[in-house]
Amino acid sequence: MREGQTVDKPWPRILLIEDDLGDTDRIAHALQDHFHGVHIMVAATGQEACQPDLTQFDAVLLNIDLPDCTGLDVLRHIFAHHDLPVLMVTRHCDGDSVATAVRSGACDYIVKQGGYLTVLPVLVEKALVMGELKDQNKRLQQTLRRRNEQLQQVNGQLESSNRLLRQMAERDPLTGLSNRRHFDELLDRRRAEAQRYQHDLACMMIDVDNFKQINDRLGHKAGDRILVLVAGILRAQLRAADLPARYGGDEFVVLLPHSTAMDACTLARRIADQFRHDVAQIVPDSLSCSLSIGIHAVHADRLATASEWIEKADQAMLEAKQSGKGCVVLSADPGSHSVPAPSRSVG
């Protein structure tokens, strides 16, 4: 009796497919002597063998020679419906038939000669053990597949969480642009690329004029709307290769690879003009709100350190504010000059 088998439940349950009544009785007695709880169902033809529910059996003893078909036909029917250990029984050792049966999935065979009835129960027990091991292996594989699927799902959730955490660590929560820390991390990389490939690089510092007064007069929600507006204009006006970021408070910074001073000034005018037009929906005419923009643009062979580069763009932006606000100032070596924004001219 196998582990966990109760006395009340017959075991093993054998389907004996045998047309010789004498052999049927002898095989049944041999199995009953060996397995005290055995239950045997007999089918004398292939047609009868195809009737019962195969899931109700633990093993099959199948005669290769049947009156209405071959044992190989029945073997194919069995494996088409259920995976059972099948032991082939034959009176004559037909090597081709036996080999075909084993290749088709039969676990073993026995020839009805000599003391085969002594060996038969042992082979049946071996087949049962092999079947049980096969079932256990299937269950383990199914469990492994389920756990792998669960692991893949957890890994997918973990990757999504990590992406979200990275975005939270790299993005400004209000505007969705890169934050200052992430911008600083990318700045040296973009600067190194410019030096390696010898292309122009420009940096733009942007400040919202009179932002504190507007916040005080209209409230922080209006101030937030203005900052979101700036971010939206930057996304719309910039190229995919450009890098905008909220640098702090009401200040924004934009990195412009492959951009000359003229390219950066033209872009700054478009940004300032778009902002002047769109901010009117948020700020009344009685309050002045514009953008002061400072630009520092150099060729790769004149690149200073990243901090010096940002500092020059910041100084140019301060000059823009000191020049009356709402204008663009280009920092050049040596000196700087002011470029009026389209919204106003600087005298």
Q: Do 20 and 75 fall within a single domain?
A: yes
> Is the full-model pTM beyond 0.75?
no
Report if residue 63 sits inside a domain. Answer: yes
Q: Do 120 and 256 fall within a single domain?
A: no
Comparing 32-36, 185-189, 319-323, 334-338, which segment has the lowest mean pLDDT?
334-338
* Size (the chain), residues: 347
Check if 250 is active-site. Answer: yes
Q: 257 pLDDT exceeds 50? A: yes
Query: What pLDDT digit, counting tens, does each position of 141-176 carry?
Result: 999 999 999 999 999 999 999 988 888 889 999 999
Q: Do 273 and 333 fall within a single domain?
A: yes
pLDDT band of 135, cuts 50, 70, 90:
confident
Domain boundary among 111, 140, 169: 140
pLDDT > 70: what percent of the chain? 91
Q: Do 48 and 124 fall within a single domain?
A: yes
- Catalytic pick among 58, 209, 250, 314: 250
Structural domain boundaries, residue 320: 180-340
* Mean pLDDT (the chain, rounded): 88
Give the count of domains, the chain. Answer: 2
Q: Do 18 and 84 fall within a single domain?
A: yes
Q: Do 200 and 118 fall within a single domain?
A: no
pLDDT band of 222, cuts 50, 70, 90:
very high
Q: Do 106 and 40 fall within a single domain?
A: yes
Q: Do 200 and 66 fall within a single domain?
A: no
Q: Do 108 and 192 fall within a single domain?
A: no
pLDDT at residue number 46: 93
Q: Do 222 and 308 fall within a single domain?
A: yes
Report if residue 150 sits inside a domain. Answer: no
Q: Do 108 and 219 fall within a single domain?
A: no
Report if residue 6 sits inside a domain. Answer: no
Report if residue 212 sits inside a domain. Answer: yes
